[in-house]
Amino acid sequence: MDIVNVGKAYGSLTVIHGVSVEIPDGEFVVLVGPSGCGKSTLLRMVAGLEPITFGDIRIDGQVVNDLPPKDRDIAMVFQSYALYPHKTVAENMGFALKMRGEPKADIDDRVKKAAEILDLVPYLARYPRQLSGGQRQRVAMGRAIVRDPKVFLFDEPLSNLDAKLRVQMRAEIKELQRRLATTMIYVTHDQVEAMTMADRIVVLRDGRVEQIGSPLELYDKPANTFVAGFIGSPS
């Protein structure tokens, strides 16, 4: 999928100033930058949750700017606290499919497959409050997986987990990407997360791209002192 010169203004305030990122299929791209630099806004425009002011979002070469979120081949993973507390794990995972009117047998089948991938089979009848933090986050991922999207979007999914669990979940998300071989766009303000997870990193600052490159490229050849400082390399 491609982000082509995409911009966003809220009234007279422009917060994204023409960002372009070409993302080959199957790549794990991390959008990183300080709080308020526009990461969530950019991701929400890709998802279709926020109208774009200018530019294009393309999936498989097709401009999807005017498609509602459900018609884009994209699923967003939210933080685990966005689970429905009064629905079981299985119901949480199948809810989007149920809303689309898919047959129950198909939903059950896809929920079961996603649960197998995520090691959640024993927990399907439980409620979110009966799960650990890591299991809840896996349910949040399961809701996206059942839709079998072309692109997964994550907006700081691990920020409410403790440090140890965060490290474990990073590895689980990377493993998931390897298994599914899908494109993932992952937003974080955590440099370590970006450096350890990304195939390529997009460094944003005040709604502009400072640099795009592999973790090694950013570390070895930061484009400027902002990138160097943010990534934490000497220079």
Q: Which residues bind ligand ADP (CB under 6 A)?
A: 10, 15, 33, 35-41
Q: Minimal distance in Å, beta carbon 115 to ligand ADP? A: 31
Q: Minimal distance in Å, beta carbon 204 to Mg ion? A: 11
Q: Minimal distance in Å, beta carbon 220 to ligand ADP? A: 25
Looking at the Cβ atoms of 74 and 97, the one nearer to ligand ADP is 74
Looking at the Cβ atoms of 16 and 176, the one nearer to ligand ADP is 16
Closest Cα partner for 138 from 154, 156, 115, 106? 115
Per-residue DSSP letters for 169-197? HHHHHHHHHHHH--EEEEEES-HHHHHHH
Q: Minimal distance in Å, beta carbon 21 to ligand ADP? A: 15
The residues, ordered by sequence, that sit 6+ positions from 178 with a Cβ below 8 Å of its Cβ are none
Q: 48 with 1: CB under 8 angstroms?
A: no
Residue with tokens 């009064």: 86
Site string for Mg ion, 33-72 (x = CB under 5 A): -------x--------------------------------
